[in-house]
Amino acid sequence: MNGVNRSLPIRVDVRSKVFPAVGDRPPQLVLKDVAFEVAPRSFLVITGPSGCGKSTLLNIIAGLDTDFSGSVDLGPAKDKLTFIFQSPRLLPWRTVYENIALVLPEGDPRHAQIPDMIERVGLRDAMNAYPERLSLGMQRRASLARGFIVEPQILLMDEPFVSLDDPTAISLRALLTELWHRHPTTVIFVTHDRAEAIQLGTRILRLAPGKASVAQDVTINLTEAQRHDQAAILAEQNRIFAA
Amino acid sequence: MAPISTRISSTPRLMAAPSGFTASLERLAWMAGSLFALAVFWQIIAVYADSRYLPTPLAVFDVLLREGANGNLWKDTSATLARVAVAFVVSMFIGATIGIFLGRYRTADKFFDAWLILFLNLPALVTITLCYIWFGLTDAAAITAVALNKIPNVAVNMREGARSLSKDLDEMAVIYKFGWWKTLRHVTLPQLAPFFAAAARSGLSLVWKIVLVVEAFGRSSGVGYRLSIAFQEFDVSTILAYALAFILVVQIIEFAVLQPLQERVTAWRR
């Protein structure tokens, strides 16, 4: 039965999303006719310039924003959804370990896997540290570990690697790829970094600036080896974004 | 001689990171020195004035020993402490509940803001006399009067805390299905803890002062009652002795309970 559940795609159909007027600013149409399906266990990257409604779309899919017209059908996997936010959103008054343990119900067998997960994201020495004493990169690692420990079937990510230095971003991308291969899940990943989009995704959805709708929907044709090859990424980037 | 010791003790590293124990010892030494200087000053003025209305520190200390020996000091101090404790707990609980409610619900806040301002500015003496007139000269009336004075203060503090609750962390709790109890315990209350600790510390100092007034007005036990008797006899030594004793008690509570509590709830900060 589980296999049947997982084979159902996610259906997103946002007719319109309007931000209400604030003070002198008129109401603003953020999303218009954004409709797409996401195949199970695929890695969809949503990209587009700042302010095109990427984060708003993700909030709608996550169910955090219900003030829109249209529909979102996550299928039976909707209870196994996790959102990795742009800021790590760890509880500053709980240690790294506690932050991860808190997302599991009490007595859940997965508690036993926490030390292993912390080890895998490279935070063994920071396990009992409070988040504010860690660098942003380390906080992001903790946030990734927290997201993966619940073994989500749908994983939403909102620019999780933005404003990190290059080596840290590269290692976290590799970590994400590794975790995703180990535990396949449907990913919707928002970014404005084109190279990142191509390296990680199996498919790209481009939102048009200003028009607040889908401009392009393409599949990425790269092998796993090519994803580590700068030239191949650049070639694919030119093919997709030249349009 | 002095320059050498100064140079040693002002090494930047030592200045920046004194161990907790050394730091509190140094603070204690400063406090003891300054209080001793105040006592000496008082002694000089008292000897110079030579009046029964300004006893020397030693005379006051004698009264303190006498009252301790005959048991009045313990009896009245504990009676007052019991009232302080009940009034404190009641006003913290009710004040926090109201404050959190107003901080979270805009409309309620708009409506009740005027009430809060009214009660904040209501003189303590008015609530005390009204409570005694309406409810009689009872402990319940006394504690109600004290709580009514303190509740608006706590509410304003906690409202500020509730207004600044993080929407980001709330969303995180929703996504990870924390449920209301886990959210309250691990997300909401830790954010409110610093506001609660601040309200508790300012609360204690306010509550015990009002309790004394309430006792002087209409109770027949407690430090306030003892002070009002001493006032009728113009017995300044007793007034000062009880005042000093109570200041000591409140400071002990501050150092032994409230400060460690505040440090504990903010331990996670950088």
Outline where A162-226 has alpha helix (H): 166-182, 194-200
What is the 8-class DSSP label of residue B187?
I
Q: Would you state the pLDDT for residue A199?
A: 86
- Rounded to an integer, the average pLDDT of B210-228 is 90
**CA-nearest residue of chain B to A130?**
B268
Q: To probe the interface with B, which of A102, A110, A151 has the most B CB atoms within 10 Å?
A: A102
- Rounded to an integer, the average pLDDT of A160-185 is 83
Q: Would you state the pLDDT for residue B11?
A: 36
Q: What is the mean pLDDT of chain B?
A: 86
Q: Which residues of B touch A (CB under 8 A)?
A: 168-169, 171-172, 174-176, 178, 182, 186-187, 190, 193, 268-270
- Rounded to an integer, the average pLDDT of A187-215 is 83
The values of phi and psi at residue B216, to 5°, are -60, -35
* Confidence check on the interface: ipTM exceeds 0.90, yes or no: no
How far is residue B150's CA from residue B92's CA, in Å, rounded to a whole number?
8
Q: To probe the interface with B, which of A59, A87, A93, A108 has the most B CB atoms within 10 Å?
A: A93
Q: Does A91 sit within 8 Å of B175, measured CB to CB?
A: no
CATH class of residue range B55-265: mainly alpha
Query: What total of structural domains would you count in chain A?
Result: 1
> Crossing angle for the helix pair B139-163 and B124-135, nearest 10 degrees?
130
- Looking at the predicted structure, is the pLDDT value of residue B27 above 70? yes
CA distance B168 to chain A (A): 7
- Cα distances (Å, whole numbers) of residue A94 to A130, A139, A229, B183, B206: 6, 12, 40, 13, 33
Find tokens 């049947």 and name the residue.
Answer: A4
Q: Does B175 sit within 8 Å of A64, measured CB to CB?
A: yes
Residues present in chain B in total: 270
Higher pLDDT pick, B20 / A230: A230
- Rounded to an integer, the average pLDDT of B81-87 is 93
Instruction: Assign residue A102 the CATH number of its domain.
Output: 3.40.50.300
User: Of all residues in chain B, what percent carry a pLDDT higher than 90?
Assistant: 56
Residue B33 pLDDT level (bands cut at 50, 70, 90): very high
**CA-nearest residue of chain B to A103?**
B176
Q: Is the dihedral of CA A147, A153, A158, A163 positive or negative?
A: positive
Q: Would you state the pLDDT for residue A211?
A: 60
**Residue A10 belongs to what domain range?**
2-241
pLDDT digits (tens, 9 = 90+) for A65-112: 999 999 999 888 888 899 999 899 999 999 999 999 999 998 899 999
CA distance A86 to chain B (A): 10
The Cβ of residue A137 has, within 10 Å, a number of other Cβ atoms equal to 19
- Looking at the predicted structure, is the pLDDT value of residue B112 above 60? yes
On chain B, the residues whose CB falls within 8 A of the CB of A153 are: none
Domain ranges of chain B: 55-265
List Cβ<8 Å contacts ≥24 apart for B237-242.
Answer: B237/B55, B237/B59, B237/B60, B237/B62, B237/B63, B238/B63, B238/B67, B240/B55, B240/B60, B240/B63, B241/B60, B241/B61, B241/B63, B241/B64, B241/B67, B242/B67, B242/B73, B242/B76
pLDDT digits (tens, 9 = 90+) for A115-172: 998 988 889 999 999 999 899 889 998 998 999 899 898 999 999 888 778 887 888 8
- For residue A53, which amino acid is it? G
Residue B268 pLDDT level (bands cut at 50, 70, 90): confident
Determine how β-strand A69-73 pairs with β-strand A203-207.
Answer: unpaired
- Looking at the predicted structure, is the pLDDT value of residue B16 above 60? no
